[in-house]
Structure 1
């Protein structure tokens, strides 16, 4: 059950991360990082790894996007 919750959180974070790739909307990644981090924590509590891995991928994508934009843009 926790795996399904983690997958849903990861999908929401991924859908929110898509518009954050548009220039000048990259600051939205700062709002997406805590959402994905909550998904990682919930995914760690479950017996399966799928939700945790999805949230980790979203987390890494957002961190890379923030580092490319200097943390703001």
Structure 2
């Protein structure tokens, strides 16, 4: 068996606990939104400052880019 197959089978066996589904249900979105929050700290306004209206400036950050990418691509 290849190494990736053995790693995936080990991963599948270790994720059969009763805490797994509720834990993932709560923690995966928390991780995702905390990453969006960290990306929101980096403003992208300098890139598009001439092309956007002033009311959009609070929403121009890299977190918005990830949310749009996730919504339309995935």
Q: Give the TM-score normalised by structure 1.
A: 0.31
Structure with the larger helix share: 1
Specify the structure having the higher radius of gyration (Cα).
2
Q: Give the TM-score normalised by structure 2.
A: 0.31
